[in-house]
């Protein structure tokens, strides 16, 4: 798909269809579309789409009037959804080229991102029934404004959209294809194309270093684990601050010996979405060049039962030196993250954000509306949440009360890997906190937000790319 910026008005731009916006109660096209306006067919209500043909004064043969609702309620997130929904509507009609007519630079960013993200489909491996004839090949972002900020806004939206699709392409791959070593290959390809440094620790190196928590999770699988490190530094060299992005990449989570029920287990191919979001974020960061050093750390493993698998009752020694009693092998994400977090600190990260499809409990708490976030540093959380708002990724601050740590107290080892039935997302976060120490840290539990179970008007079923855009905005905002 081609995405281009053109300095043209909605009327002048030429495509199979042009998307224009109408605010609630607005009358901007009432002169040329009297029937639609007088009948109330076009009311400007949010996400109302009206396709009209051969409108006087428009070079394009079709105009899709997209209701943008109340102007004061329209932010960049809603605009992105609105444009994405419009593009998917036109795609379903077999339209091949679309122009999106916007006015301000901020809208150009939203339009460019939507232009890339909206048309992604999870059908990489379908060989029939793809309806390739129903694919938009060209999206034009049309803007008349001569504001010099327009070019940078277009580029930022395009880069973030493209990175989101990289993450989704990786995340959607089935678990027989996307093994930990296949993930390494994807990460290497992204790093090479972006000009980023990449290091990969293999199983032997992890043994030498003493990553017992990560190795314990991987030992039941025939697929060896890997720890991927991707580095970005500004052109002027490494900075004093080094932002560590740590992403859980369990390429398939059967639960291990504490095996999961069969129903819905296939969704555990998405248990690497945190890691895939870090890889995509590094791709975007390399292109947008923030002024802070960023280090991506991705522990990759497959959680399988088997004769070599870790058992409930096993005690492992983590890289930090802390011993962990494994009470449930399905609480594996926190184990691989414990070693990855310790390693990120050893690499010199001064701030840490981790993303993980960590618990079913966060989905019970927040549904699919928001990721749960936890912190040991409220100032860093404020900075982080500001970035999440710009990204349009909804996040909700969850607590780390001392009571959760009580639940992890263990007689046989320093800590145990699960608490009681209740507050499971909080005990998981508390477990991570024990390995983070004093480094400013935010943990994102994106188990409810990293993928869509069913297609939405603005987005295909499958991985969403969350929280990639928050990562990128956090780095770009760095002071």
Residues in touch with Zn ion (CB under 5 A) = 250, 253, 271, 333
- Give 390-443 as a DSSP string: HHT--EEE----HHHHHTT--SSSSEES---STTHHHHHHHHHHHHHTTS-EEE
Q: Which residue is nearest to ligand BES (CB)?
A: 360
Which residues contribute to the site for Mn ion (CB under 5 A)? 253, 330, 332
| 96, 134, 138, 260: the active-site residue | 260
| 80, 334, 345, 433: the active-site residue | 334
Nearer to ligand BES, 58 or 404 (CB): 404
331 binds ligand BES (CB under 6 A): yes
Tokens of 300: 């990759």
Please report how close the Cβ of residue 214 comes to ligand BES at its closest, in angstroms.
14
354 binds ligand BES (CB under 6 A): no
Which pairing describes strands 242-247 and 293-303: parallel, antiparallel, or unpaired?
Answer: parallel
**E strands, 10-167, where?**
17-23, 49-53, 62-69, 97-102, 138-143
Binding ligand BES (rule: CB under 6 A), the pick from 175, 299, 333, 465 is 333
Please report how close the Cβ of residue 356 comes to Zn ion at its closest, in angstroms.
8
Nearer to ligand BES, 165 or 251 (CB): 251
418 binds ligand BES (CB under 6 A): yes
Please report how close the Cβ of residue 467 comes to Zn ion at its closest, in angstroms.
17
Burial class (CB in 10 A: 0-12, 13-18, 19+), 31: exposed
Nearer to Zn ion, 324 or 476 (CB): 324
Q: How far apart are CA 355 and CA 454, in angstroms?
A: 22
328 binds, among ligand BES, Zn ion, Mn ion, none (CB under 5 to 8 A by kind): ligand BES
302 binds ligand BES (CB under 6 A): no
Binding ligand BES (rule: CB under 6 A), the pick from 360, 397, 439, 461 is 360
Nearer to Mn ion, 283 or 303 (CB): 303
- Please choose, out of 29-37, 64-72, 282-290, 360-368, the segment that lies near ligand BES by the rule CB under 6 A: 360-368
C-alpha 29 chain-centroid distance = 37
Q: Which of 329, 291, 288 is nearest to 311 (CA)?
A: 329
Q: Are 127 and 144 in contact (CB under 8 A)?
A: no
Q: Is 3 helix (H, G, I), strand (E, B) or coil?
A: strand
328 binds ligand BES (CB under 6 A): yes
Q: Which of residues 433-452 bind ligand BES (CB under 6 A)?
A: 447
Binding ligand BES (rule: CB under 6 A), the pick from 107, 173, 253, 314 is 253
Nearer to Zn ion, 175 or 333 (CB): 333
408 binds ligand BES (CB under 6 A): no
What is the DSSP code (8-state) at residue 67?
Answer: E
Q: How far apart are CA 18 and CA 218, in angstroms?
A: 51
- How many residues bind ligand BES, per CB under 6 A? 16
Binding ligand BES (rule: CB under 6 A), the pick from 274, 299, 424, 440 is 424
Please report how close the Cβ of residue 274 comes to Zn ion at its closest, in angstroms.
10
Please report how close the Cβ of residue 418 comes to ligand BES at its closest, in angstroms.
4
Q: How far is CA 449 from CA 47, 211, 386, 428, in A?
A: 22, 29, 18, 17
Q: How far is CA 71 from CA 105, 115, 143, 326, 387, in A?
A: 17, 22, 19, 53, 23
Q: Which residue is nearest to Mn ion (CB)?
A: 330
334 as an active site residue: the answer is yes
The radius of gyration of the chain from alpha carbons, rounded to an integer in Å, stands at 24
Q: How far apart are CA 98 and CA 9, in angstroms?
A: 14
Nearer to Mn ion, 330 or 445 (CB): 330
330 binds ligand BES (CB under 6 A): yes
List all residues 6 or more positions away from 245 whose beta carbon is below 8 Å from its beta carbon.
278, 281, 282, 294, 295, 296, 297, 353, 354, 355, 471
248 as an active site residue: the answer is no
Please report how close the Cβ of residue 416 comes to ligand BES at its closest, in angstroms.
11
**E strands, 260-418, where?**
293-303, 315-317, 323-325, 351-356, 371-375, 395-397, 415-416
Nearer to ligand BES, 64 or 426 (CB): 426
Tell me how crowded residue 239 is: count the other CB atoms within 10 A of its CB.
16
Q: How far apart are CA 193 and CA 162, in angstroms?
A: 13
Nearer to ligand BES, 330 or 434 (CB): 330
Q: How far apart are CA 294 and CA 347, in angstroms?
A: 11
Query: Where in the sequence numbering do the catalytic residues fall?
Result: 260, 334
Binding site for ligand BES (CB under 6 A): 253, 271, 328, 330-333, 357-361, 363, 418, 424, 447
């Amino acid at each position: 798909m081609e995405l281009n910026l053109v300095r043209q008005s909605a009327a002048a731009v030429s495509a199979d269809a042009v998307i224009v916006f109408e605010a609630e109660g607005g009358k901007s096209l009432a002169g040329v579309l009297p029937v639609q306006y007088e009948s109330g067919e076009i009311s400007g209500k949010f996400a109302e789409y009206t396709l009209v043909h051969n409108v006087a004064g428009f070079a394009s043969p079709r105009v899709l009037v997209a209701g943008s609702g109340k102007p004061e309620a329209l932010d960049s997130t809603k605009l992105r959804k609105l444009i994405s929904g419009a593009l998917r509507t036109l795609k379903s009609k077999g339209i091949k080229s679309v122009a999106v007519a916007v006015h301000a630079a901020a809208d150009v960013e939203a339009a460019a991102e939507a232009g890339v993200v909206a048309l992604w489909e999870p059908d990489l491996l379908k060989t029939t029934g793809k309806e390739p004839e129903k694919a938009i090949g060209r999206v034009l972002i049309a803007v008349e404004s001569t504001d010099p900020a327009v070019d940078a806004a277009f580029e930022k939206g395009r880069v973030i959209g493209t990175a989101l699709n990289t993450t989704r392409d990786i995340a959607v791959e089935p678990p027989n294809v996307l093994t930990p070593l296949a993930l390494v290959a994807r990460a290497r390809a992204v790093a090479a194309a972006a000009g980023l440094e990449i290091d990969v620790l293999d199983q032997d190196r992890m043994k030498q270093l003493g990553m017992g928590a990560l190795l314990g999770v991987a030992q039941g699988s025939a697929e060896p684990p890997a720890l991927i490190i991707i580095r970005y530094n500004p052109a002027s060299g490494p900075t004093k601050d080094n932002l560590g992005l740590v992403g859980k990449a369990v390429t398939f989570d059967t639960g291990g010996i504490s095996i999961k029920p069969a129903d819905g287990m296939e969704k555990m191919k998405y248990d690497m979405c945190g890691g895939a979001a870090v890889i995509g974020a590094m791709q975007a960061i390399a292109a947008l060049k923030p002024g802070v050093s960023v280090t991506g750390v991705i522990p990759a493993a497959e959680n399988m039962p088997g004769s070599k698998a870790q058992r409930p009752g096993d005690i492992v020694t983590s890289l930090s030196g802390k011993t962990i009693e494994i009470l449930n092998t399905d609480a594996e994400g926190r184990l691989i993250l414990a070693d990855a977090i310790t390693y990120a600190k050893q690499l010199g990260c001064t701030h840490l954000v981790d993303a993980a499809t960590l618990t079913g409990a966060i989905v019970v708490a927040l549904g699919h509306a928001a990721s749960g976030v936890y912190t040991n540093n409220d100032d860093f959380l404020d900075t982080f949440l500001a970035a999440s708002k710009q990204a349009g990724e909804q996040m909700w601050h969850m607590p780390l009360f001392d009571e959760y740590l009580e639940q992890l107290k263990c007689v046989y080892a320093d800590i145990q890997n699960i608490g009681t039935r209740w507050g499971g997302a909080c005990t998981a976060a508390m477990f991570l906190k024990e390995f983070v120490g004093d480094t400013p840290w935010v943990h994102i539990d994106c188990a409810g937000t990293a993928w869509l179970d069913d297609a939405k008007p603005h987005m295909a079923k499958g991985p969403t790319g969350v929280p990639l855009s928050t990562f990128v905005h956090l780095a770009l905002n760095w002071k």
